[in-house]
Amino acid sequence: MIFLGISFPFVVSCAAVEPAAPAAPAGGGPAATQQAAQPRPPRRAPAAPAVWRVAQDGTTGCADPDALRLLREPASDAAALRRLATARTAGGCVTVFRGQGWRLLERTGEMLRLAPAEEGAGPGPLYFWRDQVVEERAG
């Protein structure tokens, strides 16, 4: 191309270029052409993690799983009551209510280790007995 006496060895085009169609799978035939023409389905967002809640208000959760186990033992006398009170305090046990959501961190036998669903909310990760919490699925 020559423009005002200057020679350009290339041509610039402003035309839109359509993307090439995807190659048909090996084997050809009408089924292969039809398969290549079908658009891919949109990707789904990952499912929201389940929210766990205690089944009853006033449920006890503990930072130490051994303290939670000890609290299941019957208290028949004053010494046993003192032992349970000490375990509750030393084990980081707190009373939890249904309003707070939790997320699953770990399953260990009949216990679940849950953390508050919202960052910075609540007492931190606690152990609960599996039969004292319920799972709520989103959707």
Domain ranges of the chain: 51-136
Q: What is the pLDDT of residue 122?
A: 77
Q: How high is the pLDDT of residue 14? A: 47
Q: What is the mean pLDDT of each run of 10 residues along the chain (139 residues)?
A: 48 50 56 61 66 95 96 91 94 94 94 91 91 85
The pLDDT value given to residue 50: 84
Q: Please give the C-alpha separations between residue 73 and each of 27, 76, 93, in angstroms, as whole numbers.
A: 70, 9, 15
Tokens representing 88 are 């509750």
The predicted pLDDT at position 104 comes to 95
Which residue blocks in 72-135 are alpha helix, DSSP H?
Answer: 78-90
Q: Is 3 helix (H, G, I), strand (E, B) or coil?
A: strand
